[in-house]
Amino acid sequence: MRRPFIAGNWKMNMTAESGAALIKELKPLVKGAKCDVALCVPAILIPTMVRAAKGSRIKIGAQNMHWAKNGAYTGEISAEMLKEYGVKYVIIGHSERRQYFGETDQTVNQRTLAALANDLTPIVCVGETLEERESSKTNAVLDKQLTDGLAGVEDLTKLVIAYEPVWAIGTGKTATDEQAQETIAYIRKKLSKLFGHKAANRVKIQYGGSMNAANCKGLMAQKDIDGGLIGGASLKTDFATIVNFDK
């Protein structure tokens, strides 16, 4: 039985003031939730949001981390720095990092292994572009992202996969329930080949891409979908409606 996991991705949004105010509003709304809940916030907001979320179901996550312990990597953040503030989750290889900041399957792999070595739970993002989907390359793209991105992972169940079709992120165009289920089932099948049936059956796989208060129930009802990675809708109290998808 996989416990559902709903995570928000604030991206480069919010300030210390507006973020803390939103968490204050969300706290009572997510109190009775039966799933795990996280908000992945900009690095500079982590200490303030950890304080704001204290005593609630909401865990604070980061949106990226470097694989090195420390060193001359201007602008980067280490696992140790995240852990010092009680961070539990870290998004790795989001499509925006791949698209705008040169993230590759190899750097995704380095970050993932470093997160796991430091007892952080990586939320590893995979997904195809519209062009790749339309030219029937979705499965091949996912095969490569999973094989290369997760190379050397010893315990698959210590991470979370987020399937995020790039064409559905921030576009308002959600994958249909069937499209999301079909692709996530494919991902589970591929993971089964790479890591064995037992681990693949236990690992959580989220859907991400314009998931919102209106479409979350249908997506969450799918057999292989264990949660959501939520961008836009995590910037408002709609996030609580998604967390309470089963009510």
> Which residues have a catalytic role annotated?
94, 164
Least gap, CB of 166 to ligand PEP (angstroms): 10
Pairing relationship of beta strands 36-40 and 89-92 according to DSSP bridges:
unpaired
Least gap, CB of 197 to ligand PEP (angstroms): 28
Nearer CB in complex with ligand PEP: 99/106? 99
Nearest residue (beta carbon) to ligand PEP? 231
Residues that contact ligand PEP, how many (by CB under 6 A): 14
Least gap, CB of 46 to ligand PEP (angstroms): 18
Cβ neighbours, 10 Å, residue 133: 19
| HSE of 184, CA atoms in CB hemisphere, 13 A | 29
Nearer CB in complex with ligand PEP: 38/195? 38
Measured at the CA of 182, the angle between CA 177 and CA 184, to 5 degrees, comes to: 95
187, 163 Cβ separation under 8 angstroms? yes
Phi, psi of 72 (to 5 degrees): -85, 75
**According to the binding rule CB under 6 A, does residue 39 interact with ligand PEP?**
no
Assigned token pair, 33: 């939730």
User: Residue 4 contacts by C-beta under 8 Å, 6 or more apart in sequence?
Assistant: 34, 35, 36, 220, 226, 227, 245, 246
Least gap, CB of 230 to ligand PEP (angstroms): 5
Q: Which of residues 124-183 bind ligand PEP (CB under 6 A)?
A: 164, 169-170
243 alpha carbon, distance to own chain's centre: 14
Nearer CB in complex with ligand PEP: 183/210? 210
Nearer CB in complex with ligand PEP: 22/195? 22
Q: Which of residues 10-29 bind ligand PEP (CB under 6 A)?
A: 11
**According to the binding rule CB under 6 A, does residue 241 interact with ligand PEP?**
no
CA-CA distance, 228 to 216, in Å (whole number)? 8
Q: Which of residues 201-230 bind ligand PEP (CB under 6 A)?
A: 208-211, 229-230
Least gap, CB of 238 to ligand PEP (angstroms): 10
Task: From residue 133, give the alpha-carbon distance in Å to each of 104, 105, 161, 215.
Answer: 19, 19, 19, 22
| Site residues (vs ligand PEP, CB under 6 A) | 9, 11, 164, 169-170, 208-211, 229-233
